[in-house]
Amino acid sequence: MLRVRCSDTLTQEDVLTDVLLDDEWHIVLFNDNHNTFDHVIECLISTCGHDALQAEQCAMIVHFKGKCNVKSGSYDELAPIHQSLSEKDLTVELNP
């Protein structure tokens, strides 16, 4: 963990917030036992902007490996996409 001395102008929280907001974030899709391949592929196309091949490849990776990073970018870009995928009953996380 990054430590900042009291004499410095930034606090530890300020520094950590800046680092997290500037880093690239990832939406991770997890395998489940209730969504069909077609539903997952349709969601990735309509919500993440994947083409059909990319969405199918992500669905296959999730099926065989258990999870897959399906989109990367800034937190502000990914937060609404993550929310939308969650509302479509996909199991997703938003990670830095």
pTM: 0.76
Evaluate whether residue 17 is within a structural domain.
no
CATH code of the domain covering residue 67: 3.30.1390.10
pLDDT score at 6? 47
pLDDT value, residue 32 = 96
SS3 per-residue string spanning the chain: CCCCCCCCCCCHHHHHHHHHHHCCEEEEEECCCCCCHHHHHHHHHHHHCCCHHHHHHHHHHHHHHCEEEEEEECHHHHHHHHHHHHHCCCEEEEEC
Per-residue model confidence as pLDDT tens digits over 3-32: 444 445 555 555 455 545 558 999 999 999
Over residues 60-70, the pLDDT tens digits come to 999 999 999 99
In a domain, 58, yes or no: yes
Domain count of the chain?
Answer: 1
